[in-house]
Amino acid sequence: MIKVAFYDAKEYDRTSFERYSGSEEMTFKFFDTKLNEDTVELAKESDAVCVFVNDTVNAAVIDKLYEYGVKIIALRSAGYNNVDVQAAFGKVHVVHVPAYSPYAVAEHAMALLLTSIRRIHKAYNRTREFNFSLNGLTGFDLHSKTVGVIGTGKIGRIFIDICHGFGMKVIAYDAYPAKDSGIDYVSLEELFKESDIISLHCPLTPETNHMIDESAIDKMKKGVVIVNTSRGALIDTEALLKGIKARKVGAACLDVYEEEADIFFEDRSGHILNDDLLSRLISMPNVIVTSHQAFLTQEALYNIAETTVKNIKSYFTNDGICDNELCYRCGSIDKCKKDRKERCF
């Protein structure tokens, strides 16, 4: 029986994972708390831990997991910037869910964009109060506008297809452009200069951290709409706020926020928010914030649970080889063992 300590468990996680729990093969122990140095002890006697985007999986936590004999860290997310994969190497294997529904995220990005530029959020509140005035609700057509897509992986490409459906001109930047994709790649500078809308779909890495900073915003068109459904720290939030206050940034649609870890995913409605930057952003009429919900569709939850369970099982069977294992050498042509169908270590 494989014992899995399941951190940061929400009601929707329990619903999608419970069908696999208690079987002869695997059992889950659900914890509401996030994984960090104070809570790692809960993983004692577990074979695996299952974590999400705001769990802290740093070197200290990894060392403890290793000491407790935990064999595998199973992320139920695609992004893994919260895991110190270098520290885990040689100690605890790391697996993730590379794709569960790229449609969910790409569609949410478009939903945010349309809500923002057609003022749906305002109209919704107004009509509930029987206020049928149209003043202040003027939007703009997406048709013929230029959208700049940063990151043309699974989600970015679906977003591009959606944008084409709206008759938009699409330009894109990717550090590793896809060959023969028909995508109109430009430099980052050009993308900033030409785009009416910029949507972020690249991972958070040391290179992409704060890629949207003051100097990037300076290069953008006046009135640019910035959509971020990727990771909060791609944007320097202070610079964004400055750009909004200066009327340079026309609107921001944010599903992620760089300091979201202690705020998002919880009901804080009865509390005073101690994050002035987020409070200020939320108070802006042209900012829409959703709390990292882009992934949250029935299809995605089903696929996340199915792949996570498969990932964990494959460690304990199948010679431990798992297509979804990752390590700090991923992508390195000479060192990556995955292409050779071997374990990372």
> Which residues, including other chains, have CB under 8 Å from residue 109's CB and lie 6 or more apart?
155, 159, 199, 201, 227, 229, 253, 255, 294
Strand partners for 28: 4
Of 176, 273, 299, 319, the residue at the interface with ligand NAI (CB under 6 A) is 176
* Measured distance CA(232)–CA(35) in Å, rounded: 20
Q: Could you tell me which stretch among 15-23, 44-52, 174-182, 239-247 binds ligand NAI (CB under 6 A)?
A: 174-182
Give, as ranges, the residues between 10 and 39 that touch ligand NAI (CB under 6 A). Answer: none
CB of 245 to ligand NAI, least distance (A): 26
Q: What are phi and psi of 108, to 5 degrees?
A: -65, -40
Output the CA–CA distances (angstroms, integers) from residue 186 to 125, 199, 201, 323, in the order listed.
40, 14, 15, 32
Per CB under 6 A, 8 contacts ligand NAI: no
Residues classed as catalytic: 231, 260, 292
CB of 258 to ligand NAI, least distance (A): 12
Q: What are phi and psi of 229, to 5 degrees?
A: -115, 15
Query: Looking at beta carbons only, is 43 or 74 nearer to ligand NAI?
Result: 74
CB of 282 to ligand NAI, least distance (A): 18
Of 13, 40, 94, 151, the residue at the interface with ligand NAI (CB under 6 A) is 151
Query: Looking at beta carbons only, is 152 or 195 nearer to ligand NAI?
Result: 152
250, 275 in Cβ contact below 8 A?
no
CB of 312 to ligand NAI, least distance (A): 20
Of 294, 309, 326, 327, the residue at the interface with ligand NAI (CB under 6 A) is 294
* Measured distance CA(329)–CA(89) in Å, rounded: 9
Query: Looking at beta carbons only, is 26 or 217 nearer to ligand NAI?
Result: 217
> Please, which contacts does 299-303 make with residues 24 or more away whose CB atoms are closer than 8 Å?
299/100, 299/101, 299/103, 299/104, 300/100, 300/101, 300/104, 301/12, 301/13, 301/15, 301/16, 302/16, 303/97, 303/99, 303/100, 303/101
Q: What are phi and psi of 135, to 5 degrees?
A: -60, 130
| Binding track, positions 190-229, relative to ligand NAI; x by CB under 6 A | -----------xxxxx-xx--------------------x
CB of 178 to ligand NAI, least distance (A): 7
For the chain, give the longest Cα–Cα distance. Answer: 65
Per CB under 6 A, 231 contacts ligand NAI: yes
Query: Looking at beta carbons only, is 175 or 273 nearer to ligand NAI?
Result: 175
Per CB under 6 A, 281 contacts ligand NAI: no
Burial of 249 (0-12, 13-18, 19+ CB in 10 A): buried
Query: Looking at beta carbons only, is 73 or 75 nearer to ligand NAI?
Result: 75
Query: Looking at beta carbons only, is 102 or 148 nearer to ligand NAI?
Result: 102
Query: Looking at beta carbons only, is 111 or 123 nearer to ligand NAI?
Result: 111
| Binding track, positions 71-110, relative to ligand NAI; x by CB under 6 A | -------xx-------------------x--x--x-----
Per CB under 6 A, 148 contacts ligand NAI: no
What is the β-pairing status of strands 287-289 and 249-254? parallel
Q: What are phi and psi of 237, to 5 degrees?
A: -60, -35
Per CB under 6 A, 154 contacts ligand NAI: yes
What token pair was written down for 67?
A: 């000491």
* Measured distance CA(191)–CA(221) in Å, rounded: 10
Binding residues (CB under 6 A) for ligand NAI: these are 78-79, 99, 102, 105, 150-156, 173-176, 201-205, 207-208, 229-231, 255-256, 292, 294-295
